Amino acid sequence: MAVISLRNVATSVPKGHLRCDAPITALVVHRRFGFSHSLITFVQQGTSRTFATTFCPCHNQPNYPKSPLNIPALDCETRKGKAQIMGDNALLPSEPPANDPNPNPVPVPVKEEEENPFPLTAVDKWVLSQTDEQFKYHSWAELRVLIQNNDLSVLKRKPSDLRRYMKWTAETKASYGSMTNYLLAHRLPKTWGVPPFTPVSDVPFAEPSDYCVLLNDWPYGFEPGITHMVVWTRTPIAVDDDKGDMTPESRKIVGDFVKQYFVDRLGPGGEGKVLYFKNWVALQSVRALEHVHVLVKDVDPVLIGEWTKEQEWHKA
């Protein structure tokens, strides 16, 4: 079950079957056949409708914003309305409307540290004091500066997304015992087994079966057009003893992989469409599993689908 954006599928829903005056709070895929066909439920406050869906080419034009977090009104024959959803392929612990039907709740006081599902940074606490309307999304230019300066603690999620992420994390830990157990059960290749992993290569990203690329279930608050992926690896990436940041050697290894896997596929000018970073250990919400974050701007969803598809060598 996955929540997806309207840029991946568009419906052949007859007009009048959905309320045009109410936002869609979730899109739930029950069965998916690639990007082209799915059985999908549109959830609106107080109602939901399930339809078979087909690809709509008018939603894949270059001028159509590709952000999963800020879908504008669609003005074609298939559907009208505004979707407010969590992100591409964001797994939910339960069927909507158990997912918060209010996409922008009133700010609430931050809980004591021991009550939070993960340590909140000062930025997190500041974000939780805001509404979505007060939130300023990260632009591509800003992200470039933040990553270049290694100022990763400034990265932030939209207030409503952060609250949902905290709720989802608490529920997931209660059900699975840890985020690591959940990821091993539902997201990472079954062929990896359980930690401590035994990678084919001791060099990160040298062996394709040792890493996988997935869309981030809980992306940061980005402006439209920016897609957030995570590269998971069962080969350790060396970090320093200071704050758990990458060493110069491991930074070069990661940089070379990002260029080969992402930048080169984009052709001329590709280096301007890709950013990457690895959170310091203190900033990681999933510390037991190695991962690197990759951001791309204005990239065709078909290519993103190729990057993130399940590979044969990952299947059990």
- Taking a C-beta distance cutoff of 8 angstroms, is the pair 142, 155 a contact? no
CA nearest to 143, candidates 228, 249, 238, 262: 228
Query: What's residue 22's pLDDT?
Result: 56
Token readout for 14 is 């007859």
Query: What's residue 102's pLDDT?
Result: 43
23-51: average pLDDT: 43
Query: What's residue 276's pLDDT?
Result: 97
Token readout for 244 is 């758990």
Q: How many CB atoms lie within 10 A of CB 211?
A: 25
Instruction: For the chain, give the percent of residues with pLDDT over 90.
Output: 53
Q: Which amino acid is at 41?
A: T
Q: How many CB atoms lie within 10 A of CB 122?
A: 9
Instruction: For the chain, give the percent of residues with pLDDT over 70.
Output: 61
Query: What's residue 227's pLDDT?
Result: 98
Beta-carbon contacts of residue 136 (< 8 Å; ≥ 6 apart): none
**245 or 84, greater pLDDT:** 245
pLDDT tens digits for 261-297? 999 999 999 999 999 999 876 666 566 789 999 999 9
pLDDT tens digits for 161-195? 999 999 999 999 999 999 899 999 999 999 999 99
CA nearest to 59, candidates 9, 2, 15, 14: 9
- Taking a C-beta distance cutoff of 8 angstroms, is the pair 253, 204 a contact? yes
Q: What b/e string do you get for 147-177 counting C-beta neighbours within 10 Å, with b at 16 or more? A: beeeebeebbbbbbbbbbbbebbeebbeebe
Mean pLDDT score across all residues of the chain: 73
pLDDT tens digits for 47-67? 444 444 333 333 333 333 332
pLDDT tens digits for 63-118? 333 323 333 333 333 333 333 222 322 222 222 333 443 444 445 444 554 468 87
Is 11's pLDDT higher than 60?
Answer: no
CA–CA distance, 265 with 305 (Å, rounded to integer):
13
Query: What's residue 72's pLDDT?
Result: 33
pTM of the model: 0.64
Query: What's residue 288's pLDDT?
Result: 76
Query: What's residue 279's pLDDT?
Result: 86
